[in-house]
Structure 1
Amino acid sequence: MNARDPRYPPEANPPAQPVTITVDGEAVSVPQGSTILDACKAAGKDTPTLCYGDTLTPKNACRVCMVELKGARVLVPSCSRKVQPDMVVMTDTERVRHSRRLVLEMLGSSVDLSTTPRIPEWMARYDACPDRFGEKAGESLRRDIHEPGEHHAGDGSVAATMSQPDKVDNDLYVREYSKCILCYKCVDACGTQWQNSFAIQIAGRGFDSQISTEYAVDLPDSACVYCGNCVEVCPTGALSFKSEYDMRAAGTWDESRQTETTTVCTYCGVGCNLNLHVQDNQIVKVTSPHDHPVSHGNLCIKGRFGFQHVQSRKKGESE
């Protein structure tokens, strides 16, 4: 190979140069191209995030990770803003706390965050009180389903979206629109960033926006290949395993009694890693490590949902 040929640069991937910024008065060095959120993590700052996904391009949708940047007129999203030398970042000023408190209150007053990890902790940290906005919109709208004339099929409004019943149209995963915060992570995972199935997209505009299949068809009639990568990235539990959904409904879901074991998927030779979540000697769901160099948290239908045979026993066989 001719090293002088521009088609063959001598070093195609030179090491990233470190960039030093200040986070809450502490100097932090991170590789060039890192985000402020990366720097906050390096500094040991626990920055809340919802729409951020470590395997996806940031959408800046939830705005709960906002930080104050010296010299900037407005708060900036730490998940997407790239670091620049000599930046001065503040993560816990009154302005930041007020912004995060308001975002959490608005989310908590409009959607069901009961299955969103760490929400109680964040609500307490920022003294957020969603109840001050009145009755939860999701609770009042759910009642509309049972009132004749109140719910109209095909209505694309936010009210119709949130008041529609949970969609259980397959045996693998469930959609609960009352928990959806429109972070778009499921759309990205299903689209060009990973699966390229394009089974789910944004329907409607503005306040009428909602996550939907093409022409709002049932999931089995859509382009979905049931990889479950949308379930993997959902931050609120709006998408969940059918097994988890049923156990929560029965009151038997208990994460404190669950163990997690990492293994290698045996369905093919790709080498994807699986995290088996086990409760009472039963696999209740399967996730995948996001830092795995092969799968990056993504799986196919067999790897994510094909675990029933592991716990299938013949009649009379003990556990």
Structure 2
Amino acid sequence: MRPLPHRHSAPGGGAPPPRLGHGDRRRARRARRSHAGDARRVDLRPRPDCGERRRLGHPQPGSARVKITIDGVTTDVPAGSTILDAAQQMGIDTPTLCYGDTLTPVNVCRVCVVELENARTLVPACSRKVEDGMVVHTDSERVRTSRRLVLELLGSAADLSTAPEALAYIDRYEARPDRFGPDSLTVEQAVKVDNELYVRDYSKCILCYKCVEACGVDHQNTFAITVAGRGFGAHISTELDVPLPESACVYCGNCVAVCPTGALMAKSEFDLREAGDWREEEQTEVDTVCPYCGVGCNLTLHVQDDAIVKVSSPDDHDVTRGNLCIKGRYGYRYVQNRGPK
């Protein structure tokens, strides 16, 4: 069943609805179009704010301000900000893996935890809202010990070879994943290659849930992937574990864009890595506008050896917020298809 829009009530009294003529049906279809506030619907009509999408869970401009002390420095931040917002405002580099500016915090990686005075446990900086007078320590020994252990557990259970952020954090906190066993003991799974656009290597998955959020209500509203299983058996899967081409996937690649470990990867990048020819340090990035429609999505072309090898979109762009459709993200091959000479 689908919820009724708020401004249209169901027929009452048990009487059957009247038959509709052609014009009535056309008007009814127009009435059924989504309106702001309708449950599980997306309103794509222009808004007074010109369609600008603010970061999820973040305060609106002009909100009240509160004082907070972080690492001995007192500052004031907008009410409704998170500790992570306040730390970033002060230039404090707080590690995150499951957090994304355009995603709802899910608090699963625990790499961003900080110490809050008078609190019994460490709290996730990405979702904990600031309170007036709050005193926070982002780099205490307790915090460093917790982050070190989390990184060791992640590194011992997943292949982080294509996760540069996680590897940098492991070095930063002197974590030693090998103390839980050699790399050969990590959970190994066969790479799933069932389409021409991207691959799934769940041996690299750290269950950050970012792909699920991007495929769900935060971005695409496709719900092609979800978390299956419980406890240690939890894993990312399509519905009923069907192959990707048989799922609801629309191949927008927004899940690939937010994956922090390379568990989801564009097939073009995967093939180059398998051939030992992926040279990210030599790639150049060119910003342009997608030519397929009039929306005006910003594209960042990743170019290697005069060929486009990947397309992304900036998270801070007001139109895309890092999201693209299948044409924008994967429809670049025609540029290099010059035909027979």
Larger mean Cα displacement after TM superposition, 20-29 or 180-189 = 20-29
CA distance in 2, matches of 1:169, 1:310: 25
- CA deviation profile, 1:9-28 (whole Å, cap 9, x unmatched): xxxx7721222211101122
CA distance in 1, matches of 2:118, 2:140: 15
User: What secondary structure is seen at the aligned counterpart in 2 of 1:82?
Assistant: coil
8 Å contact 2:114–2:125 — kept in the other structure?
Answer: yes
CA distance in 2, matches of 1:204, 1:120: 28
How far residue 254 of structure 1 moved from its aligned partner, in angstroms, is: 1.0
- CA deviation profile, 1:158-201 (whole Å, cap 9, x unmatched): xxxx4331000000000000000111111111111111111101
- CA deviation profile, 1:249-284 (whole Å, cap 9, x unmatched): 111111110111111111001111111111111111
| Alignment root-mean-square deviation, CA | 1.3
CA distance in 2, matches of 1:226, 1:110: 28
Which 5+ residue runs of structure 2 have no aligned equivalent? 1-59
8 Å contact 2:160–2:167 — kept in the other structure?
Answer: no
User: What secondary structure is seen at the aligned counterpart in 1 of 2:265?
Assistant: strand
User: What secondary structure is seen at the aligned counterpart in 2 of 1:118?
Assistant: helix
CA distance in 2, matches of 1:295, 1:256: 26
8 Å contact 1:180–1:238 — kept in the other structure?
Answer: yes
Which residue in the other structure is 1:99 paired with? 146
8 Å contact 1:28–1:42 — kept in the other structure?
Answer: no
Q: How many residues of Structure 1 are paired with residues of Structure 2 in the alignment?
A: 282
CA distance in 2, matches of 1:240, 1:247: 11
Q: Is 2:319 the partner of 1:298?
A: no
CA distance in 2, matches of 1:116, 1:46: 18
User: What secondary structure is seen at the aligned counterpart in 1 of 2:286?
Assistant: strand
2:123 aligned to 42, 67, 76, which one? 76
- Report the residue type matching 1:206 in the other structure: G
- Report the residue type matching 1:24 in the other structure: D
Which residue in the other structure is 2:25 paired with? none
Which residue in the other structure is 1:116 paired with? 163
- Report the residue type matching 2:94 in the other structure: T
User: What secondary structure is seen at the aligned counterpart in 2 of 1:44?
Assistant: coil
Q: Is 2:298 the partner of 1:273?
A: yes
8 Å contact 1:67–1:89 — kept in the other structure?
Answer: yes
User: What secondary structure is seen at the aligned counterpart in 1 of 2:309?
Assistant: strand
**TM value normalised by structure 2:** 0.80
Q: Tell which structure's C-alpha radius of gyration is larger.
A: 2
1:225 aligned to 250, 254, 272, which one? 250
CA distance in 2, matches of 1:199, 1:175: 14
Which residue in the other structure is 1:262 paired with? 287
User: What secondary structure is seen at the aligned counterpart in 1 of 2:62?
Assistant: coil
1:240 aligned to 265, 274, 297, which one? 265
How far residue 134 of structure 1 moved from its aligned partner, in angstroms, is: 1.2
Residues 142-291 of structure 1 aligned to structure 2 (within 5 Å): 162-291=187-316
Which 5+ residue runs of structure 1 have no aligned equivalent? 1-12, 142-161
- CA deviation profile, 1:46-99 (whole Å, cap 9, x unmatched): 111100011100010000000001111110000000111111110111000000
How far residue 121 of structure 1 moved from its aligned partner, in angstroms, is: 2.4
Which residue in the other structure is 2:86 paired with? 39
Identity %: 66
CA distance in 2, matches of 1:121, 1:213: 31
How far residue 30 of structure 1 moved from its aligned partner, in angstroms, is: 2.0
**TM value normalised by structure 1:** 0.86
8 Å contact 1:17–1:31 — kept in the other structure?
Answer: yes
Which residue in the other structure is 1:21 paired with? 68
User: What secondary structure is seen at the aligned counterpart in 2 of 1:132?
Assistant: helix
CA distance in 2, matches of 1:283, 1:29: 45
